[in-house]
Every structure is written in structure tokens, then in C-alpha cells.
Amino acid sequence: MADPVAGVLSTPGERRAALVPAGVDALRGAGLRVLVERGAGAGARYTDRDYTGHGAATASRDEVLAADLVLCVTRPPAADLARLGPGQTLVGLLRPAEDPGPLRAAAEAGATLAALEGVPRTLGRAQAMDALSSQASVAGYKAVIEAARAYDGYLPLLMTAAGVARPARLLVLGAGVAGLQAIATAHRLGAVVTGYDVRPEAREEIASVGASVLEAEGLDRGMDAAGQGGYARALTGDERAAQRAALAGAASGFDIAVCAALVPAGPPPLLLTAEAVDRMRPGAVVVDLAAGPRGGNAEPSVPGRRIQTEGGVTVIGAGELAATVPRAASEAYSRNITALVAHLLDGGRVAVDLEEEIQAGVVAAHGGRALHPALAGAPEPPAQGAATAAGTGEDHGSP
């Protein structure tokens, strides 16, 4: 019997690579023959020769889509999904809750779908597979770099012959992986950093990385909003109203706000209303890592765009920041996806075991059945008030 084939697929507009050349070694060691779509690594500065040097073969998109195991970063176009069928497994950040129709069709055609978003993030042995966390860490770092580019002053305290320039005051909303990385990066760059999260354990982490915890009237530090799986529980209507009012008052004291609060399988919580952003001084900057098709943490943010409000505040809708650091993001993602593939394989072939905890989380469809609630037609969970991914978008954002 011929060795099973793993194919590395590119996604239009995506600069990250699902597999870096060094990752080919891991797949071949697991008994797979590796095909890489020509040019699939170009966005991350990997050439086809880099892959063939590790024993992969380059191939057309059609050939890759016919592989037993198809690896991607983000979801392929619907036309590609329609070509998948029985005996094939698609692995990637598939976003099953967003426009589930094309994925549902692939599931009904018999393809196995493994969504990295479903990796159990509180399970220690799954950490190497946690793509949401790895990509969120990249995004949190880049969020501060983008804020510094847009800000009209210095981040650190500077003492010059012309006088003293005060440091920027930077607020991070949401202390998951992205938020904590943003705090750490801003701290290293010399900003005066404050963080906010509704979970008590996250507030402790904010202090542990050198930031102050936001204190403002209406933000009850004694409130325990911790939920399951490391995420925050949904806030009540009164809690959400009090939170937004308090943040609107507090935000005016900051030069930069980085918003990094996301929830699993639901729209991100609205934290900074348009009124709150209007209260910030002209020249202030808001970077919204949650900005996406279902909204963001900052009301004025527009996904993928940088806008300026009438009051002179720059708002950056930055839900896909990890892709702007493609080399580092690809290296981390490649380790995540090879770790998951190794977990799915038995004797070189995918062996689905829905009783196993990790597979139960990531396998969104198998054997012609849709397993993820969104693919099965279940209603979307309600928006949460200030939930923050414990390990991210991912903060995934995402991824």
C-alpha cells in the first residue's frame, strides 16, 4: 500500500504557510509523503527549493486537494472545499462558526474536518497543538508595534536636551495570550501599561508581567466572571452596562488602547463604545484585535482598516495581525499543526477516536456527520460581556 499523502495548501490572500520546510521532516517521520503546493511558502519567504530540500515534492493545487490529508492555515475557498470527499481530512483554522455552509457541504460529502480552534486549551498535553495561542502571541506583539507606528508621541520616557518627553499611557483590555503579550511588549518599549480583565486569575497575570490593574468606579475588582475552559462567563445586562460606562470614563486617561477580548464561537464583547473613543484625546490610538465580521471590542473599528474619528482618534481594525508577521507566525503554526497531525495518526493514517479528549474537541465532522454545533445547525451562543480567551484571537484571533 502506498504511503498516505499530506498536502500543504495555500489560501488566497494569506501570507502564512501551514507548514515550514522543517515541518516536512516531522510529517515524513510519521510515515507521510508530503506534497507542497507550488509557491505555498512564498508569503513567509520560503521557496519551493526549501521544501524539496527537506524531502517534499512540489505539486499543483489540484494534486494537493486530492491528498489524503490537506493542511491549511485558514479555511480554503468554497470551491476547494467542494472537492473534498471520503477518505480525506482537512486540518486548519477552519472557523466553523463563520459561514458554516461550505464546511457543512464538505462534511456531508464525507470529508473529515479538524479545526484547530477546538484544541482543549486547558489540557496540558494539547499545548503544543494550540494554534490560537501561538497566533495570538504574535498578534499581541504586533498590536503594540502598530500602535507605536500610529501614535504621535514616544512610548518610553525620554530625557533630551530639549526637555523630558513623558511615556505613553497604554491600556490593554483583555488579558489572554494576546493581551499579555501586548502588555509585555509595551512594557519592554517603555510605556506605562495598565491592563483590565474580568477574571480574577487574569488580573493576577496582568500584575505579574509588570502592568497595573485598571481601577475605576464601576469596575468591581471583586467580581468573579471566570467561566469554563479558562474563558469568562457571560456578563449580565447590568454588568455589561456598568462595565462600558466605567471603561468610557477610564479610556480618556490613556494615549493608546489595545483591545484583545474574544470569546469562543461567539461575537466579541463590545468594550469601548463610540462615546468612549470620542472621550480619548486627539492623536490617541485604538488597536482592536477582535475586529472582524461579527464586530469588535471597539465600536468604531472596521476590520482591516485604519480610520480616524472626527475627534482625531486613530482606530485600527486589526483582527488578522498574526498574518502580518508571516515568518514567525508560520514557524509557530507549523509546530502546532504537525503536533496535531501526529496525534491524529495511527500507522501513518488518520484514525478518528471521538472518545479521546483532544480529538473530540478538534474533529468538526467525520463519516458524513457534522459534529461541530455550528455545522450541525445549532444556534450560536449569545455574546459575552467581557470574555477573554484564556490562551489567545486569537484572542484569536485570531488567529
Catalytic pick among 68, 80, 130, 197: 130
The rounded distance, in Å, linking the Cα atoms of 374 and 96 is 6
Q: Note the pLDDT of residue 276.
A: 97
- Alpha carbon of residue 338 to chain centroid: 18
Residue appearing with cell numbers 471583586: 222
Q: What percent of the chain has pLDDT over 90?
A: 78
- Residue pair 73/93 in contact (Cβ under 8 Å)? The answer is yes
State the Cα torsion 104-397-282-276 to the nearest 10°: 70
Q: Which domains does the chain have, with CATH numbers?
A: 5-130+326-370 (3.40.50.720), 136-324 (3.40.50.720)
- Note the pLDDT of residue 80: 98
CB 265 within 8 A of CB 291: no
Pick the more confident residue, 219 or 32: 32
Can you tell me the distance from the alpha carbon of 29 to that of 64, in angstroms, rounded to the nearest whole number?
A: 19
pLDDT in tens, 107-165: 999 999 999 999 998 888 999 999 999 999 999 999 999 999 999 999 999 988 888 88
Q: What's the CA dihedral at 283, 289, 295, 297 to 10 degrees?
A: -60
**Res 162: pLDDT:** 84
Asked if 338 and 344 count as a contact pair (C-beta separation under 8 A), the reply is: no
pLDDT at 384: 40
Q: What is the rounded distance in angstroms from the CA atom of residue 152 to the CA atom of residue 155?
A: 9
Statement: residue 385 has pLDDT above 50: no
Choose, from 121, 199, 244, 279, the residue flagged as catalytic: 121
pLDDT at 399 over 50: no
**Cell numbers 479528549: residue:** 357
pTM over 0.75, yes/no: yes
Instruction: Name the grid cell of 289.
Output: 484585535
Closest of 307, 273, 303, 308 to residue 288, by C-alpha = 303
Measured distance CA(62)–CA(244) in Å, rounded: 50
Of the two residues 211 and 241, the one the predictor is more confident about is 211
Higher per-residue pLDDT: 92 or 2: 92
Q: How far is CA 74 from the centre of its chain?
A: 11
Provide the pLDDT for residue 230. 54
**131-150 and 326-344 are packed helices; what angle lies between their axes, rounded to 10 degrees?**
170
Catalytic pick from 46, 141, 151, 231?
231
| Reported confidence tier of residue 60, pLDDT bands at 50, 70, 90 | very high
Q: Which residue has the cell 512610548?
A: 155
Q: Is-catalytic flag, 45?
A: no
> If we measure between CA atoms, which residue out of 6, 153, 124 comes closest to residue 66?
6
Which range is least confidently modeled, 147-151, 207-211, 361-365?
Answer: 207-211
pLDDT of residue 347: 87
Question: Could you read off the pLDDT of 263-315 as tens digits, one per residue?
Answer: 776 789 999 999 999 999 999 999 999 999 889 999 999 999 999 999 999 99
In the predicted model, is pLDDT for residue 49 greater than 90?
yes
Task: Give pLDDT, residue 267.
Answer: 86
Residue 397 pLDDT grade (very low, low, confident, very high; cuts 50, 70, 90)? very low
Q: Which of 83, 127, 154, 169 is catalytic?
A: 127
Supply the DSSP symbol for 295.
B
| CA dist., res. 196 & res. 205, Å (int) | 10
**Catalytic residue (choose from 133, 137, 330, 384):** 133
Q: Is 130 a catalytic residue?
A: yes
Q: Which amino acid is at 296?
A: G
Residue 51 annotated to the active site? no
Sheet holding 33-37, edge to edge: 57-59, 33-37, 5-8, 69-74, 89-93, 112-115, 363-366, 369-370
Cβ atoms of 218 and 242 closer than 8 Å: yes
CB 128 within 8 A of CB 372: no
